[in-house]
Chains A and B, each alone.
Chain A
């Protein structure tokens, strides 16, 4: 790559790019939505900064301790943690954010060095890089305080380690950036991210259950991995610092040289991809195209679903909603959460003093699982049209009353709830203990009361405070603030009433009282639901402009 000479034109281009970035941010503040977005970014930034500074202090103390106690090789653990975070976080976070497509820059007369520099700098201004650098600074501080002789040597090693991380992260992104720009890939990454998050939930219970036992296989596996670990950047950075610390300058210099070699290799690979991108190559185009073999595939004529007892349009909406849900990784994920939560409760340690509430009172496992299932539907129920996007216009030009559309959507919600409750009941049956008949009946009565109330209020809020969301994307899929607060209020009231009916009846050993009370409330709730439904057409017509403009927003 030719050296980057900052000609007047290049300086002007850099200034223009920085300025347009600033203008985009500034212009986004013109709307309330944009301002709220900025506030949330500032808050997130604040927490990130706290985490970064806290982490840096922790790492400084840790590295000071290791160096002071002659355990410098253990620094590798810290370097590995930082390395993994630095490389994995941006890839996984791409599921939540739209990536900047710098190929847009190619139409401008930007020289290659300028293009490379913009890509490198723009891409490196991410939380992972900022946090990684901050944490390395903390480690360097800790090492230098513990042993001031290492100030320069450790500084150099950590600087090169940081460079290796930045270049590797950029290299990975240069190869997969466009791939990640595809909806389906982002969905897969989002699912993986949530799987990781859920697996973290199991660590505590599993460690409590299986911890404290020796596992020779793990030790053997670790012995195999250690030599390999020392040849990779985090291990090399630790070896270089350790070499300098122990007076083994040759060993330290060798590790440092290998680390530099990694930097050169990453740079070379990044440069190769950048040159190709600069000349217009796009890795993803081939992936998006349908293969000739696939093009020939044709599906036979398939008729729509027949849902017994409901009119054609309602059945059509029912089918459409089910297809939407079945294609939404994030939504399916949300819907399995009640099962996951019950499993987590079940796996908590069996020692009597640390038993979870559900292990001590398994009768409540089914009601709690059922209520959790209802809670998981909040996003769907309280933002009925969120996923329809500009398709909402079709509902206004179709010869179908809005109450039928809403009823069809509620039918889907009710079906999901019924399915979830069945699954929860089965999990409780096999994992805890068979739920008693009186608890099962009381829970079903409670849901018959809670669901219509939620559906009725949800239908109103769906019309009054709609918010577009993408079924295929994790994160940033929040309902309107009003909806969130109102739904929380409704849930609190409904759950409170249900608890007020169930708990006293449980202690009186008269669960039928709770069932009867909840069934009475269910009848009232159903009347309330029908009352709201009868008003839906008028509200939808009155609110159509807001609905269309809010949901068709790009």
Chain B
């Protein structure tokens, strides 16, 4: 049997007294488009930082494609691509120079790095401003460049932290097309996003983290079935608010998410001045 693309065991991270991520056991199979969801401050970014070697875990192990990340970081890094939270760009290079640089850092020869840089810039519609420095790019352009840099070496696993944040519809379509192409060629993608519609459309499997704890993991269908079963049980127990969907209706990922982590409800008497 193939090793899982990502496997964590008891992954924990503490910041002083605060336990940001607690005892997380993740398992992502190669070829999966995996969404990692959670409310603000739930521990998504902390987890992705630990999975990519940007943050040391306080406890637990991380296996990437069968390699222990702590014991063999360079081998792991060769096989993954990352778009971290801050995008990790070098602002005073042009887009082409930056991609060339990243390609060579991943061990590509000069000619291959240059060729792939040009192709990626063209694909991402960034080739029109060859002399513009990255620092002068718009936020969406920087996101596209960061993604281009993450894939230039053809990684087997791609980690994306909020790749669609602040990206317009055109750029978002481009990004999605590229990610779908990678999945169709057998890569694994692990992404965090607040845009649940996109996650529902792209991902086959998701995990939900809430207050540092992994509260759900599986395919979207499995999560849906679990939530519906819980709702039915709660309704039988007399909870009128736990209504399952009408026959023929399917719970959306957003509804599943809200039922798992608990959504805020606007009480009638609150913010009455809002009109």
**Residues of A with Cβ closer than 8 Å to B?**
183, 290, 294-299, 301-304, 306, 312-313, 315-317, 319-320, 323-324, 327-328, 387-394, 396-401, 471-472, 541, 544-545, 548, 552
Contacts and interface: CB of A to CB of B under 8 A. Distances in A.
Interface centre among A297, A328, A394, A541 (most CB of B within 10 A): A394
Interface centre among A294, A396, A400 (most CB of B within 10 A): A396
B234 to A, nearest CB: 42
A390 B90 CA distance: 8
Nearest to A548: B54
A120 B66 CA distance: 65
B215 interface: no
Contacts of B54: 393, 396-397, 544, 548
Interface in B81-115: 82, 84, 86-93, 96-97, 100-102, 104-111, 113-115
B124 interface: no
Contacts of A303: 100, 110-111, 113-114
Nearest to A554: B86
A471 B92 contact: yes
Q: Which 10 A-B residue pairings sit nearest by Cβ, starting from the closest?
A: A316-B104, A390-B86, A393-B88, A399-B77, A299-B130, A399-B78, A394-B88, A303-B114, A303-B110, A391-B90
A299 B96 contact: yes
Interface residues on B, range: 35 or more
A401 B105 CA distance: 10
Given A319-B101, A394-B90, A399-B105, 17 more contacts: A183-B135, A183-B136, A295-B128, A298-B127, A301-B118, A302-B100, A303-B113, A317-B105, A324-B90, A324-B92, A389-B91, A391-B91, A398-B77, A400-B74, A472-B92, A548-B54, A552-B86
Contacts of A299: 96, 130-131
A301 B115 contact: yes
14 contacts: A304-B114, A313-B104, A316-B100, A317-B105, A323-B97, A387-B92, A389-B90, A390-B89, A393-B84, A396-B54, A398-B102, A398-B106, A399-B105, A400-B74
Contacts of B75: 399
B90 A545 contact: no
B55 A312 contact: no
A401 B75 CA distance: 11
A320 B130 contact: no
B22 interface: no
Contacts of A328: 92
Given A320-B90, A328-B92, A315 B53 contact: no
Contacts of B117: 301
A389 to B, nearest CB: 7
A545 B82 contact: no
